[in-house]
Amino acid sequence: MALRKIVQIGDEVLTKKAKKVEKIDEKIIELLDDMAETMYHSEGVGLAAPQIGILKRVVVIDIGDGLLELINPEIVSVEGEQIGDEGCLSVVGKMGVVKRPYKVTVRALNREGKCFEITGEEFLARAFCHEIDHLEGVLYVEKVEDGLIDV
């Protein structure tokens, strides 16, 4: 495993759409391991591959309940609404208020290539939306309601 460098806002890789993973090979497994290590090292709760400069649809999340690895994640249903603070490892030192669905169900592949669905509420739902936005080249700063604040 190795730490990867997290790219910061202003880098155009963060504005590009990531490509679907066609084959889960050793490189993807290594990517997942490195992303988890990088996320934990930075004390983040989620990391998407574009944030380390890799335009692949791979996400890791851990909001404190264990590591989730999502390959080719897709939102299959959303419910309700929540308003809350959001930050990003690619936008260091800032935070902002973003409206997200309250409950989100995601379908993805695990590292064995098996399809699964997972439903998250509150903060996990927010993390799903935030990370999947990264795969579309979208940063939360575009969705902030009252501007960014320094933290």
Binding region for Zn ion (CB under 5 A): 88
- As given in the structure block, the two tokens for residue 7 are 């790219």
Measured between alpha carbons, how far is 132 from 145 in angstroms, rounded to an integer?
A: 19
Q: Which helix (H) or strand (E) holds 131?
A: helix 122-135
- As given in the structure block, the two tokens for residue 128 are 């799903």
Of 112, 131, 136, 145, which one is the catalytic site residue?
131
CB of 50 to Zn ion, least distance (A): 9
Distances (CA, A) of 151 to 92, 95, 148: 9, 7, 9
Cβ nearer to Zn ion, comparing 68 with 88: 88
Cβ nearer to Zn ion, comparing 88 with 109: 88
CB of 43 to Zn ion, least distance (A): 13
CB of 20 to Zn ion, least distance (A): 20
Is residue 131 annotated as part of the catalytic site, yes or no? yes
Q: Which helix (H) or strand (E) holds 39?
A: helix 26-41
Measured between alpha carbons, how far is 28 from 30 in angstroms, rounded to an integer?
A: 5
Cβ nearer to Zn ion, comparing 35 with 88: 88
Position closest to Zn ion via CB: 88
